[in-house]
Structure 1
Amino acid sequence: MPSTHNTAAAPARRRRWLVLLLMLALCYGVAGAGAAATGDAGSTYAALDKPAWAPPGWLFGPVWTLLYGTIAVAGWLVARRPGPARRPALVAWAVQLALNALWTPLFFAAEQYGAAFLDISLLLTAVVSTVLLAARVDRRASWLLVPYLLWVGYAAALNLALWLNN
């Protein structure tokens, strides 16, 4: 006689993996939309008057590729845990992703460095909130977001310097 436990668990397992795929699609969709909206970001970045501590342009692609993956997994870890703390953490996760999506077109396509700085400042606040709220649901999720938090903090300082220099 087949086990009903395994039969009942299969749809839940499938649903978990579908949620992860959805989170990955959302995060990499933001990345793709940002890339499409930037035009020639490499040339724009190269032409800016940058501080000495600015990273080379080639570094952004690999860093963001890794970070979007960790953002997705962190969101997935939160989404799969029941409880009242899950909803605020997922709302914060969605807000930070939306603010993240706005930054690239503001900075590169519109060349609105001040508006981009306002956006990234709000993004930094949203990421801090997401880290704190995610910690209430799944500590692994909040730890996965720490590199993102550090990178956004660094990017905010760079955005401010670029705005002031250009």
Structure 2
Amino acid sequence: MHGNWVLPIIVAGLAAIGVAVLGATITDLGPWYQSLEKPGWTPADPVFGIAWTLIFTLAAVAAVSTWRAAPSTRVSDTIIGLFALNGFLNVLWSLIFFRMQRPDWAFAELLLLWLSVGALVVFCGRYSRLASVALVPYLIWVTIAGALNWQVIELNGPFG
């Protein structure tokens, strides 16, 4: 449907950067986070930045690939909506976990985030195998983040 690569690449890249920057701005690794007991398998702090950079890059590739393969404007709009919802849920998790300091509520929200990534994998896979494969690391990472979030609750709760 879409013959031009430039606009979707720019839009997807800016959206990925916007979500990443907003999430990073909300994420506070200060005294509260440092004081939390974390499981021994918690990745080192720099791993999170590397992982999210890769995930957001792959998500932008998936978005462009799916959008370009979309057979109609309705499908294109659905793709944009699913990625927008996912970006919102991604930032919301950081807000709940780090700013509100509620890992318990963040875990509940993370289940919605995980479902949104799963929906992206399935929906995008209908139109682009590349997109579906590119989103799998995101699903794996959110699964790991969920296990880590749960362990933080177990080791430090109750909250609030």
Alignment TM class, shorter chain as reference: 0.7 to 0.9
53-62 vs 79-88, which deviates more?
A: 79-88
Which residue type is aligned with residue 129 of structure 1?
A
Deviation at 1:78, TM superposition (A): 0.9
* Pair 1:53–1:140, CA change in 2 (3 A): same
> Matched residue of 2:5: which SS?
helix
Q: State the shift of 1:69 in Å.
A: 0.7
In structure 2, relative to structure 1, the CA distance for the partners of 1:44 and 1:75 (3 Å cut) is farther
Which structure would you say has the larger Rg? 1
The two structures have a TM-score, normalised by structure 1, of 0.84
The one of 94, 106, 122 aligned to 1:132: 122
TM-score where L is the length of structure 2: 0.86
1:115 pairs, out of 80, 105, 108, with 105
Alignment: residue pair count: 154
Greater relative CO (CA pairs within 8 A, separation 6+): 2
Following the alignment from structure 2 to structure 1, what is the Cα–Cα distance between the partners of residues 31 and 46? 11
Q: How does 1:17-96 map to 2 (within 5 A)?
A: 17-38=6-27, 40-41=28-29, 43-84=31-72, 85-96=75-86
**CA–CA distance in structure 1, aligned partners of residues 17 and 61 of structure 2:** 12
1:98 Cα deviation after fit = 1.4
What's the Cα RMSD here? 2.1
Equivalent position to 1:102, from 80, 92, 95:
92
Q: Mark the runs of 5 or more structure 2 residues left unpaired by the alignment.
A: none
